[in-house]
Amino acid sequence: MRFAGRAWRAHDPKWSFSPLAGAGAAQTGGRFNRKGQAALYLALDLATAVAEAAQGFGQRIPPLTLCEYDVDCEEIAGLSDEATRAPLGVTAGDIACAWLTFQLAGKRAPSQLVAQRLKAEGYAGLLAPSFAPGASGTNLVLWAWGPAAPHKVEVYDPDGRLPRDRRSWTAEGAS
């Protein structure tokens, strides 16, 4: 399937100079990517983007940089409901697993195995429900993206407000 529309992501401000990198997901791993594999996690609504970024911080949410993206991607697997999951051989339990528990035990989580299989089958990403506490939206997770079709993703920054490098967060860059 194709996804064309807007998506959002709430970043740690220190990484706002690189909103398309996916390096943080590669560094830590995630529900739909193993450590070492870059992935771009986006939400289809603002509230879900904030809920995803705020996981694990309790009642006090740290500062975030919210970015909007224009997306036009082919080869997206729909995992948002049973009707779209079933033809792909994916169950709700596969994607709702406690992925971090598996990862901490040195094992691949069922959701990571699903993502690995879908990627091998040629999918560039997937749509899935958010499992962040308090979120009810949908996430778009990409393993292939760039500035051109068929996996086009661009950050919306018409006024050039996002920093261009890390110097923005140093004493030298603040002057």
Quick one: how far is CA 92 from the chain centroid?
19
- Tokens 């080869």 locate to 75
55 pLDDT above the threshold of 70:
yes
Residue 171 confidence (pLDDT): 55
pLDDT at 175 exceeding the cut of 50: no
On the question of pLDDT at 83 being above 60, the answer is yes
Q: Which of 26, 25, 17 is nearest to 53 (CA)?
A: 25
Contact 57, 151 (CB under 8 A): no
Query: Does residue 56 register a pLDDT over 90?
Result: no
Q: How many CB atoms lie within 10 A of CB 163?
A: 17
pLDDT number for residue 170: 64
Mean pLDDT of the chain: 92
pTM of the model: 0.92
Q: Report the C-alpha dihedral over residues 146, 148, 152, 157, rounded to 10 degrees.
A: 80
CB-CB contact of 39 with 142 (8 Å): yes
**In this predicted structure, what is the pLDDT of residue 70?**
98
Radius of gyration of the chain (CA): 16
Give the 3-state secondary structure of residue 70: strand
Query: Cα-flanking dihedrals φ and ψ of residue 116, to 5°?
Result: -60, -45
